[in-house]
Structure 1
């Protein structure tokens, strides 16, 4: 009898989780970085597929995240010593996304509980992983906050509360602005459905960001043939200098 009860519970779990599912679309799933790349906007849109009637209490909310490749980062603190700004303390952050955007259908603290944020690492601070720090540094959180401030100013970290348009608890859409200074790689895209702050459904896909054309050629050359890349850079610099000099001489003669 116990085995039958456990089997019924196991079957009921997936069915309950499948009551609301995300059907997602992207305006584009690839971003090409060229020499004149100035950024891109990705439209993320979709619908919520249901097997049961819409629940209005509590209402459904949507959270969308787009995360670039994770990299370790060293954050240094500068202090004024004898009238000169110098680096003092430094903390190695184990993993931080090179780009991170969060868009929600409402205020983040209302649509997502802290426990769910901790479990799924949805907000920007939760997406950054910093395990250890030097013994002489006691305020490690300040270094993480500094990294967030810097990358927010650079347009690499963004939070858009209310940035997801949700229509009749079924259709949703948001636009994610991706700046020109993107890191090449795979950008994980996640959509979370929440009720009363708890995640009740999720969907994951990805956006590919790749260098193409001259950007790809120079990047590959710098990694695979650094000597040839250095010589090419030197030749371009000499040619540019000679061209500018010749132009000035022509202007003086004119």
Structure 2
């Protein structure tokens, strides 16, 4: 009797899990032009290309011929701070700040048309379509929350990241070359953070999510920059001593070069 109850409970849980998944009538096949980007001393940025296709099967409705696609690219997560400056007594000083917890260091959202045309506001919020709907957790006093998009600190944080090319939103970046074949570019600025980048691709039809898939690429440093970064992480004490020694040596050499006899 107990075994039968366990079996029934397992079947119920599987049914619930399957009910939460989008229909498998379509499948996304995607790839990125380069899965490993190397950053050298003269790196000035580049653009990757994500391309793919929509694979249909026998369960695909015959009248489902047009699709919408949303691509979300997220870089390594980190804690960041946005500060508010005010002019007092003739000088600018920091008067307040807000800490953002484990937010993407790079964030890009691309689609083939405006998000409002792709899905309802409820689906946009649930699927985090658009910068205004992406969760950016903040420390507000002793609480943790994702505030409304027009919050002053959140708006300032997003604006500053956009100015550096690290946060992007483009609702015309995805191009359908055929009804099922698509491509989009992923711009990477010169100051792109090092680490693993997760790419999530969501396929919509008539406002409903019908398929999704994921891929990733990595950005790594090579050469002297990688040597410095590796030693700074793994041998912090020795790296600190070496940095101090180099500073003393540079000062000594400068004193010789610019010495007045």
Output the TM-score relative to the length of structure 2. Answer: 0.79
Judging changes above 3 Å, is the alpha-carbon distance between structure 1 residues 15 and 220 closer, same or farther for their aligned structure 2 residues?
closer
- Runs in 1 of length 4+ with deviation above 4 angstroms? 12-16, 52-58, 234-243
Q: Please report how far the alpha carbon of residue 197 of structure 1 lies from its aligned counterpart in structure 2 after TM superposition.
A: 2.6
The answer for the alignment partner of 1:21 in structure 2 is 27
Alignment of 1:82-97 (within 5 A): 82-97=89-104
The answer for the alignment partner of 2:47 in structure 1 is 41
For the pair 1:146 / 2:152, whether they are aligned, the reply is: no
Distance 2:71 2:100 in 1: 24
Q: Provide the secondary structure at the position in 2 that maps to 1:63.
A: strand
For the pair 1:157 / 2:163, whether they are aligned, the reply is: no
The answer for the alignment partner of 1:203 in structure 2 is 213
Contact 1:62 1:104 survives alignment (8 Å): yes
Structure 1 stretches lacking a partner, 5+ long: 250-254
For the pair 1:179 / 2:185, whether they are aligned, the reply is: no
Distance 1:97 1:214 in 2: 26
Judging changes above 3 Å, is the alpha-carbon distance between structure 1 residues 66 and 113 closer, same or farther for their aligned structure 2 residues?
same
Give the number of aligned pairs.
241
Distance 1:131 1:153 in 2: 21
The answer for the alignment partner of 2:120 in structure 1 is 113
Judging changes above 3 Å, is the alpha-carbon distance between structure 1 residues 82 and 240 closer, same or farther for their aligned structure 2 residues?
closer
Distance 2:65 2:91 in 1: 57
Distance 1:233 1:39 in 2: 28
- C-alpha RMSD of the superposition: 3.4
Q: Please report how far the alpha carbon of residue 168 of structure 1 lies from its aligned counterpart in structure 2 after TM superposition.
A: 3.0
Contact 1:64 1:189 survives alignment (8 Å): yes
Q: Please report how far the alpha carbon of residue 145 of structure 1 lies from its aligned counterpart in structure 2 after TM superposition.
A: 0.7
Output the TM-score relative to the length of structure 1. Answer: 0.81
Distance 2:20 2:207 in 1: 20
Distance 2:21 2:124 in 1: 24
Judging changes above 3 Å, is the alpha-carbon distance between structure 1 residues 232 and 59 closer, same or farther for their aligned structure 2 residues?
same
Match of 1:104 among 111, 119, 142: 111
Judging changes above 3 Å, is the alpha-carbon distance between structure 1 residues 15 and 183 closer, same or farther for their aligned structure 2 residues?
closer
Distance 1:16 1:99 in 2: 27
Q: Please report how far the alpha carbon of residue 19 of structure 1 lies from its aligned counterpart in structure 2 after TM superposition.
A: 1.1
The answer for the alignment partner of 1:221 in structure 2 is 231
Judging changes above 3 Å, is the alpha-carbon distance between structure 1 residues 189 and 15 closer, same or farther for their aligned structure 2 residues?
closer
Structure 2 stretches lacking a partner, 5+ long: 1-7
Distance 1:158 1:100 in 2: 6
The answer for the alignment partner of 1:125 in structure 2 is 132
Distance 1:98 1:92 in 2: 14
The answer for the alignment partner of 2:84 in structure 1 is 77
For the pair 1:194 / 2:204, whether they are aligned, the reply is: yes
Contact 2:46 2:188 survives alignment (8 Å): yes
